[in-house]
Amino acid sequence: MKLFGVLGDPVSHSLSPVMHNAAFKALGMDCEYHAFRVSPENLEKALYGAYALGFGGLNLTIPLKEKALDIVQPSELARQIGAVNTVDFEHGMAGHNTDGMGAKMALSSAGIKITGKNILLLGAGGAARAIAFQLAKDGARVTIANRTLERAEALAKDVKKVGKAQASGYENLKNLIQDSDILINSTSVGMYPKISGTIVTSDMMHKDQVVFDIVYNPQNTLLLKEAKKAGATTIDGVMMLVFQGAESFKIWTGRTPPVDEMEKAVREKLA
């Protein structure tokens, strides 16, 4: 049996085990995926331990993604983003970041084209970095809006190395939303248990817009409810979670994962 896992602190809330174990079962693979609580100071030992034990691969979650950069051999994209969420042990200890690809695939699977689109990204944290780099590389014009303008400016400056990006505070949000084709919330606003929060309301959105919330608990956030009121197309956070996991699965196994089974397992667990 081949073991896989996710390391984080905390990690008990992770939906990765239910998602990946559903994929292994559907493909009849003799593999298991588990969650392991690991603190940042023990990350290096944990990674080398998993490598020595013959693990097939690992995912990393908060607060380990940045620290892993100094331990593994990161891909160029992971280095640019400044975070690793997937470690492959096939040839040494290779680090990847599949978060941006997860967002891209969530949009693509809904039939949304990215190239040439105006994308407004709310937030400038770790998830925002991955999403901004990926979508700018794919030819979108990305505006990063954040409560702290300096953080948005710092991220936009980095993203400009791969594509078009600019920064803004929240004071001009209504106009920015009106000018955007795709609105992405990469903040934790609206996440369980504080489900009554949203940065954007229906009167600020328009019906030709795509609204994508990377929060997946609850699946139908207040932002998405407001977007539906405005007649916008909506995408929930489950899709990014599933597609970033599917990308990790491909890296580890070289096989095409059953995305439908992974999504079903996650939605059943959340329900």
Residue pointed to by tokens 């998405």? 224
Please, what is the angle between helix 237-253 and helix 99-109, to 10°? 120
Q: What's the alpha-carbon Rg for the chain, to the nearest Å?
A: 18
Q: How far apart are CA 233 and CA 31, in angstroms?
A: 37
Q: CA angle at residue 176 from 172 to 181, to 5 degrees?
A: 170
Residue pointed to by tokens 């042990």? 89
Q: What's the chain's length in residues?
A: 271
Taking the CB of residue 23, how many other CB atoms lie within 10 A of it? Answer: 23
Q: How far apart are CA 100 and CA 59, in angstroms?
A: 15
Taking the CB of residue 78, how many other CB atoms lie within 10 A of it? Answer: 26
Q: How far apart are CA 82 and CA 59, in angstroms?
A: 15
Q: How far apart are CA 114 and CA 101, in angstroms?
A: 12
Given 2, 65, 137, 161, which residue is catalytic? 65
Please, what is the angle between helix 16-26 and helix 237-253, to 10°? 50
* 65 in catalytic set: yes
DSSP H or E run through 130: helix 126-137
The residue type found at 24 is F
Catalytic residues: 65
